[in-house]
Amino acid sequence: MAQQVVMPKQGNSVESCIIVEWKVKVGDAVSSGDVLCSAETDKSTIDVESTADGVLLARLFEEGDDVPVMVPIAVVGEKGEQVELEQPVEVQAEPQQVADTVVAPQPVVAVHVPDAHGASPRAKHLSEKLGVPLSQVSPSGPKGRIIERDVRALEGQPLSPLAKEQALAEGLVVPKSGSGIGGRVLASDLKQVKAPVVQSAPMGAEETNDIPVKGIRKVTARRMMESMHSTCQLTLHAYADARALKRLRAGFKASKPELGLAGITINDLVLFAVSRTLVQFPVFNAHFLGDVIRRFGHVHLGVATDTAKGLLVPVVRNSDLLSLRQLSEQTKAMIAKCKDGTVQPDELSGSTFTVSNVGSFGIEAFTPVLNVPEVAILGVGAITLKPVADGEDEVSFIEHIGLSLTMDHQAVDGADAARFLRALMDNIASIDLLLAL
C-alpha cells in the first residue's frame, strides 16, 4: 500500500524547506533510508530520506518549491500501484490528503496535478502592501507562477499612499528609491521612471557555462540581499595591538600535551575577547526587530565558516560562560560539523553576534555584512606590522590585528560602536589580563 514521505522537521526554528534537487525519478526503486531529494533550510542543505520501501510513485512538489515541514512531498508504494493526487496550487497550504487506490498492476502511474499559473495569494498580498505591480514581476515559481520572493526582489523604499495607488492601478514601474524624505517614493517619481528596454545582445563564439544558483549559495544570496535592503549598515575599522595574542599563542603551542592548550588559536583568543566585551556592551548583544530591540542575557557567538558547500554560521552558545579552552573546543567541534555536513539547523540559528575571520587570506580590513537580525558583526583581518610613535618621537613597528565592526545604525549609534571597538582593542591588547578575570 502506498505511503507518504513528508518533509522532516529540522529543529524548532525551521518552518519550511526549499526542494533543491530530486535525486530519484518517478518509477525508480527506493529503500527506506535512500535519499529522495536535497532541501535547503534557512542556513544549510539537508538530505530527505525515504521512510518506505518500494517504487517512487509520485513527486508532489518540484525543485524550487518552498514546502512546510511535515507536509507530504512524495508517495512510495508497490510497482504499478496507481494513485490519484490532488496538489494544491499554493505550496504553503495545509498538508495534502492522498487517496490510494490499489488496482491491477499498470506500467504507468497516473498523477493528476492542476497547472499552476498567475500569482500565489502571499505574492498578491505582498504586491498590494509594497505597491509593486504584478505586471513588473518576473516569476520564478513552478510553471511560471509568481511567488512571494519574486515580489520581494523588487522591494525598495516605502511608497506614499498616492504613489502606491497609482502604481497598482496603472502598472507603473516603481523605483528602488524616490525623492521623498528618506528616499520615500512619491507619485511624481513614478512618472519619471521608464520601463527598461531589454535588447538582445548578439551571441559570440565564446563558450559559456551556466551554473544554477541553488542550495546554500541561493540561501546566502537571498540573506545578503535582505540584509542590505533591511538595515542601515555602517562599518568602523581599527587595529589592535597583537603582541599579547602572539605571545599567548606561542606559549599555548609549546605547552604540555596533557594540558590540552596546544590547539588554541589566535581566532579563539579573539572570540574570547569578543564574548567578554559584549558583556560590557549589551547593546551589541542584541537583535533589531523593527519596533523592538531584543537584548540577550548571554552571548551566543556566530562563527562564519567557509565550507565546500558555502558559507555557514554555527553558533557557540553561552560563550561568555566558557573558559578559553572550552570556547576553543566547542568552536572547533561546530566548524568540523559544518565541514563534514553533520551540523543541525538549530546549531546554525540563534546567534546574537557574529565574527568573520579572513585573516588567514592576508586581508587586513573589510566590510562584513550583517547577519540579520543581529545588531553588529565583527570582521577580523590579518596581523601586520604598523608604525607606532613612542614618547620620544621615534617610530617602532608593532604587530597589529585588523578589526572591522559593521553595525546597524537603526539600533545603535556610531559613538557607541566606536566605544565598543575601542574596548575590544584594549581587551585584545591585554588579553592575558582578561583571562584572569
118 pLDDT more than 60: yes
pLDDT digits (tens, 9 = 90+) for 255-274: 999 999 999 999 999 999 99
pLDDT of residue 198: 52
CA–CA gap between residue 425 and residue 419 (Å, rounded): 10
Q: Residue 193 above 60 pLDDT?
A: no
Q: Is the pTM of this model over 0.85?
A: no
Least confident of 15-24, 170-179, 322-331: 170-179
Conformation bin of residue 282: beta by default, left when phi > 0, alpha when psi is -120 to 50: alpha
Q: Where are the alpha helices (DSSP H) in 341-434?
A: 414-429, 431-434
The type of residue at 58 is: A
Q: What is the mean pLDDT of the chain?
A: 85
List the beta bridge partners of residue 54: 30
Q: Span 180-202, mean pLDDT?
A: 64
Spot the catalytic one: 125, 340, 409, 432: 409
Active site residue 413: yes
CB 253 within 8 Å of CB 344: no
Catalytic residue among 298, 413, 416, 432: 413
Tell me what the mean pLDDT of segment 353-368 comes to: 97
- Beta carbons of 159 and 130 less than 8 angstroms apart: yes
Place of cell 595591538: 241
Sign of CA dihedral 283, 226, 184, 132: negative
pLDDT band at 51 (very low <50, low <70, confident <90, very high): very high
User: In angstroms, rounded to a whole number, what is the distance separating the alpha carbons of residues 62 and 411?
Assistant: 40
Max distance between CA atoms of the chain, in angstroms, equals: 97
298 contacts 321 by C-beta, under 8 angstroms: yes
More confident residue, 329 or 187: 329
CA-nearest of 419, 379, 393, 425 to 241 is 425
Report residue 318's pLDDT band, with 50, 70 and 90 as the boundaries. very high
- Ranked by mean pLDDT, which of 166-175, 183-192, 337-346 comes out on top? 337-346
pLDDT in tens, 55-114: 999 999 998 888 898 999 999 999 888 776 655 444 443 444 444 444 444 444 443 333
Query: pLDDT of 374-399, one tens digit each?
Result: 999 999 999 999 999 887 778 999 99
DSSP 247-280: HHHHHHHTS-GGGT-TT--HHHHHHHHHHHHHHH
Other CB atoms within a 10 A radius of the CB of residue 98 amount to 18
